[in-house]
Structure 1
Amino acid sequence: MGTWNGRLGVVEFATAGTDLDTARIVAARIAILEDDGAELARWDWGSDRAEAVVGEVVQTLRVLMAVGIPIATFDAAAGLTVLDRECRRRQITPWDVFAPVLDPLLLDEILDPAFDGRRSLNAMAERYGVAPGSLAAGRIVREMLARDGLDGSPAHLHDRQRRLDDEWPVAPLDDIRLIEDTQPIPAPAPRPSGTVPVLDFTDSIPVQLEIEAPEEPVEPIVEEVVEGDVEGDVERPPASRRIHVAAAIVTDTAGRAVVVRKRGTTGYMQPGGKIERGESALSALIRELREELGLEVDVDATEFLGSYEAAALNEPGRTVRAEVFALVTDSELHPAAEIDALHWLESPTDVESVELAPLTLDVMLPLWAARRPALF
């Protein structure tokens, strides 16, 4: 049976987006539960406080860390990775996560490794006899700590969870460019914390600061994409390296779309290229189309279609994440720089005239097909 029954912090996040590098925290809640599960203190950040949420959440977690209160959060690898990326994006020093974190998902794997049912938050609340809803993760952890198999301090349990996933609780960042704002809108200004909660306890608080920074650096630089709701079932696909690019469906006034082939390769792809550090996707697109095709982009006539992924054509085992734009031009295009040839596709069904990249086949042609009737 567990040996720790002190106060417990609980953090919950509401996020917009499922990609951990680009998702945004839009609301958050931090609470402190007494040893009987009663709520001692709570702070809420709603959508009306979105500009302050990241900095204030991080500072509040630092306060709890300083007084030795462990943190319970459901699927820490998702929520705390998003928090890390938000801090970096907003130029806020990230939370170092040296305080114990208790994740019901991993603790349940320790308690019942043979269980093959649902591990969503609501399903776990039912299994452990906890009311679903706000702060359920903390109360589930309370129930878990009362069972055989979770002996030791929160710091010890933190270490046991880390052995299940060496990238837990924050996945390493592959490329800083992946977290930067790439939409064709101004990047938000840094938003440091303005106010933080004040903790005023009249009795002593058990200190559990036994975790130290890892002696060896975490292995390398791979990135995970997690699909689905943060509070739903968690099934992580294999990690893979991603190439971040800006690409465009460039059509002429006759309704044809251009694809290009790089020197030394055989396949054709959409014009565009890699986004450089500190560069927006739109800026990258403007630069690449000028360099590759001699095309001056009319920004006002350029439409952003969204972010998409596909396998990389020329780099096996890697994935391309493309910020996709569309534009129509009557300019004459000429291959330049690393582009060896260009080819005009007559229609979205023209898939055999040349070898096409997966991004073109799987993403660009369907987007083009959906847009074409309204334009030509």
Structure 2
Amino acid sequence: MGTWQGRLGVAEFAISGPDQDTARIVAARVAVLDDDGAELSRWDWGSDRADAVVGEVAQTLRTLLALGIPIATFDATGGLTVLDRECRRRGIEPLAEPAPILDPLLLDELIEPEFDGARTLNAMAERYEVLPGSLAAGRIVLAMSQREEFAGTPAALHARQRGMIDGWPVVPLDDIRTIVDTQPIPAPAPRPSDTVPMFEFSETGVLALVAPPEVVPPQSAPPPPPTPAPGRIHVAAAIVTDTAGRAIVVRKHGTTGFMQPGGKIERGESALAALTRELQEELGLDVDVDATEFLGSYEAAALNEPGQTVRAEVFALATDQELTPAAEIAEIYWLESPDDTDSVELAPLTLDVMLPLWAARRPALF
């Protein structure tokens, strides 16, 4: 901890959806902790500050990193990639190769590579004896720093994490057209710029953090963003089991819940063609169409799109291939049985549809 000067930054993002190129940052929090996990300073951007959240969060992180303060953030690829796209969409200078970033999701894999349990934020907080909730990612990293396996400077740890996942911590932007604004929100009047962190040095040369001045709210608040109309998201999804009878679920970048693998059906595309394409992109799975069984059409509430409904064309298939997360998938998890409902957060479609279907089929298969 000596090379960290006793300080660790923490960044938390609330993101509007799983697609990193089109999602919005709707709220954020950045804080600085001391080496005991105590909060030295904190800046919050709620949904009422949507006009300022992107530029001010980017500037706050840029300032902390320039001062040599590492930033801890859970599933860094999700939050930092969306921040990058939001900056580019709004004509704001994005963070140029932010470092050092400390992602407890990846650092846990370095510390316990053979661990096969849940690596959700709450599960990790429990294992590292940290209170769940706000700023838990930073306090988990501080707890990790006490472990013998946690060796190296923040810069060295950043490099080790970067070697684990291509495009970490910010996925490269391949096509500028993919960040076109598909969720327009009226931009209210900008807030004063003095709400980003300010710093000063004491007479002894020790860096001190100064809380920003209180901002007087405008007399009339801007109108809230329009609520999306309810709708259906048409997807193809699958119960994919392995030779041991387990079923796989996946978690997308920037989200916390797990769901069945699959994805949206494109215009003019069959459900089976969509499933074949999505499983190859997400898991590297080569689907044997002849060994794939169609189970029917089902509906459930969408996990990551509030007020939306998922209509799923559900298939079942078994595989002995090795599956690895790719594209928008951050993590995979193998459910041991249809009763395994508490080990990770599960989407409504998985809980209400997939697990009962799997339970009904399982005795005949395994």
Tell me which interval the TM-score lies in, with the shorter structure as reference length.
0.5 to 0.7
Equivalent residue, structure 1, for 2:193: 194
Alignment-mate amino acid for residue 165 of structure 1: I
Partner of 1:37: 37
> Which structure 2 segments of 5+ residues have no match?
209-249, 283-309, 314-366
- Structure 1 position 199, deviation (Å): 2.2
For 1:39 and 1:197, the matched residues in 2 are separated by 14
CA deviations on 1:272-307 (whole Å, 9 max, x unpaired) are xxxxxxxxxxxxxxxxxxxxxxxxxxxxxxxxxxxx
Partner of residue 289, structure 2: none
Contact 1:312 1:318 in 2 (8 A): no
From the superposition, tell whether residues 137 and 234 of structure 1 become closer, same or farther in structure 2 (CA, over 3 Å): farther
Whole-angstrom CA distance in 1 between matches of 2:311 and 2:93? 37
Q: How does 1:85-100 map to 2 (within 5 A)?
A: 85-100=85-100
Residue by residue, what CA displacement relative to the aligned partner does 1:96-133 show, whole Å, maximum 9, x if unpaired?
13430000000000000000100110000000000001
Paired letter, 2:110: I
Matched with 2:163 is 163
Q: TM-score, normalised by structure 1?
A: 0.55
Equivalent position amino acid for 1:61 in 2: L
How far did residue 167 of structure 1 move? 1.1
Do the aligned partners of 1:106 and 1:161 also contact (CA within 8 Å) in 2?
yes
Residues 246-289 of structure 1 show CA distances to partners (whole Å, capped at 9, x for unaligned) of: x6xxxxxxxxxxxxxxxxxxxxx39xxxxxxxxxxxxxxxxxxx
Cα distance between partner residues in 2 of 1:137 and 1:39: 13
Q: Which amino acid aligns with 1:204?
A: V
**CA shift in 2, pair 1:189/1:81, >3 Å:** farther
Secondary structure of 2:199's aligned partner? coil
- 1:122 and 2:129 matched: no
Say yes or no: does 1:17 pair with 2:41. Answer: no
Q: Give the superposition deviation at 1:232.
A: 2.2
Amino acid at match of 1:230: G
**Alignment correspondent of 1:48:** 48
Is residue 77–residue 168 contact of structure 2 (8 Å, CA) maintained in 1?
yes
Q: d(CA) in 2 for partners of 1:310 and 1:3?
A: 54
TM-superposed CA distance for 1:235, in Å, is 9.2
User: Aligned-pair distance for 1:144?
Assistant: 0.4
* 1:144 equivalent in structure 2: 144
Q: 1: CA distance between counterparts of 2:52 and 2:272?
A: 31
Give 1:163 shift.
Answer: 0.9
SS at match of 1:119: coil
One of 252, 256, 260 as aligned partner of 1:232: 256
Offset of residue 177 of structure 1: 1.4
Aligned to 1:28: 28
1:189 Cα deviation after fit: 9.4
After TM superposition, the structure 1 stretch with the greater mean CA deviation from structure 2, 117-126 or 164-173, is 164-173
> In structure 2, the residue corresponding to 1:17 is in which secondary structure?
coil
SS at match of 1:115: coil
Contact 1:9 1:70 in 2 (8 A): yes
Provide closer, same or farther for how the CA distance between residues 83 and 90 of structure 1 changes in structure 2, counting only shifts above 3 A.
same
Contact kept? 2:75, 2:253, Cα under 8 Å:
no
Q: Is the contact made by 2:78 and 2:253 (CA closer than 8 Å) also made in structure 1? A: no
- The structural deviation recorded for 1:186 is 7.8
- Identity across aligned pairs (percent)? 58
SS of 2:63's equivalent in the other structure is helix
Query: TM-score, normalized by length of structure 2?
Result: 0.57
| CA distance in structure 1 between the aligned counterparts of 2:155 and 2:81, rounded to whole angstroms | 20
Secondary structure of 2:119 counterpart: coil
CA RMSD of aligned residues (A): 4.1
| Structure ID, larger Rg | 1
1:109/1:102 CA distance change after superposition, 3 Å: same
Distance 1:124 1:193, change over 3 A: farther
Asked if the contact 2:10/2:135 (under 8 Å) is kept, the reply is yes
Asked whether the 8 Å contact 1:77–1:169 carries over to 2, the reply is: yes
CA contact (8 A) 1:15 1:23 kept: yes
State the secondary structure of the residue aligned to 1:53. helix
Counterpart residue type for residue 87 of structure 1: C
The 2-side partners of 1:127 and 1:114 are apart by 15
Letter of the structure 1 residue corresponding to residue 100 of structure 2: P
Deviation of 1:197 after TM superposition, in Å, equals 1.9
TM-aligned CA deviation for residue 68 of structure 1: 0.7
Matched, 1:75 2:75: yes
> Which runs of structure 2 are paired with 1:181-330 in the superposition (5 Å)?
181-182=181-182, 194-195=193-194, 196-202=196-202, 203-204=205-206, 227-228=251-252, 230=254, 232=256, 269=268, 311=274
Relative to 1, partners in 2 of residues 1:51 and 1:198: Cα closer, same or farther, differing over 3 Å?
A: same
- Gaps of at least 5 residues in structure 1 are 207-225, 248-268, 271-307, 320-361, 366-376
